[in-house]
Amino acid sequence: MPNIFEKLEYWWKARLTKKGKIILGILAVIIVIIFISAISGEETKPKEERKQTTPQESQQEAQPQTNKEDMTTVKYDLKETIENYRYDGGAIYFILIDKVDLSNDSFKKDIKWIVDNMTKNKGKKISLNIYDDLESLNLSYDIEENPGNYIGKTELVSKDAELSKEHLIATYDGEMETGPHYNTLMFFPATLKNDSKVGRYVETIEYNPK
C-alpha cells in the first residue's frame, strides 16, 4: 500500500499539469512573502502595542489584591508612661481604648494592631498595659508610679485588682528575656479562665509584632 509521500509524488508527477505546477509555485512564493512580512511587522511593532507581560507584571497579577475593608485602624490614647520601668531599661506605656465588645473575640485583632503600631513608634523593647476604663488605668498607673503611697491602703489595692480583672484588656512585653515568651501578649492577665464574664478570653501567646 503506497505511503503518503508516494501519493504526493504521484500527485505531483501524474495529476498536476505543467501550468498547475507553475501556479502552485507562484502561490507558494506569495505565501512565503506574506509569512515573512507578518513576522517582520510583529518585530517592528511598538512595545506598547504588543502588550507583552513582563515577569514583574506576571508576579503582580498572581498576587492577591489587598482588600481595604480588611485593614484595621484602632483608636487608642496613650495616657501615661513610666521610663526605665523594666530591668532592661524598657519603658511601660498605659493605653486607653474604647469599651471592649465581649460578644466575640474580634478585639484581640485590634489589640495586636495596637502592639504593631506602638512597637513601630516606640521600639520593640517596651511593655504595654491596655485598658478600656480610665479609672482602672489611672489607679494602676499611680500604684506603679508611687507604690509607697499605697502601703497599708489595702482597700485601694483591692479595688485596683478588682477593676483590672475586667478592664485590663491586655499586656504586652516585647523582647523580655525573663517572660513566658520573648514577645509575650496576654489577654485579661488579671483574672482566670473560670471568670464568668471574661474567662473565655484569657490567653497568653507569643506575638511577634509586624
Strand order in the sheet with 76-82: 76-82, 92-97, 127-131, 168-173, 184-187, 203-206
Q: What residue numbers bound the domain in which 8 lies?
A: 4-62
Same domain, 147 and 106: yes
State residue 10's pLDDT score.
38
pLDDT score, position 73: 75
**169 and 91 assigned to the same domain:** yes
Q: What is the pLDDT of residues 49-83, one digit of tens each?
A: 434 444 444 333 334 443 344 566 789 999 999 99
**Secondary structure of 35-61 in the HEC alphabet?**
HHHHHHHHHHCCHHHHCCCCHHHHHHH
72 and 127 together in one domain: yes
Please give the pLDDT value at position 74. 86
Q: Can you give the pLDDT at residue 34?
A: 59
Q: What is the pLDDT of residue 94?
A: 98
Cα distance between residue 106 and residue 130, in whole Å: 15
Verify that 32 and 91 share a domain, yes or no: no
Number of domain units in the chain: 2
Amino acid at position 198, single letter:
V
Do 54 and 79 share a domain, yes or no? Answer: no
Mark which of 39, 62, 85 sits at the end of a domain: 62
Co-location of 131 and 183 in the same domain: yes
Select from 24, 42, 62 the last residue of a domain: 62
Verify that 136 and 162 share a domain, yes or no.
yes
Query: What's residue 68's pLDDT?
Result: 43
Residue linked to cell 519603658:
91
User: What predicted TM-score, i.e. pTM, was given to this entire model?
Assistant: 0.67
Point out the domain boundary residue: 38, 62, 86.
Answer: 62
Same domain, residue pair 82 and 175:
yes
Residues 104 and 194 in one domain: yes
Rg (CA), the chain: 38
Indicate if 57 and 139 belong to the same structural domain: no
Residues 21 and 85 in one domain: no
pLDDT value of position 37: 61
150 in the same domain as 79: yes
Which portions of the chain are predicted below pLDDT 70? 1-72
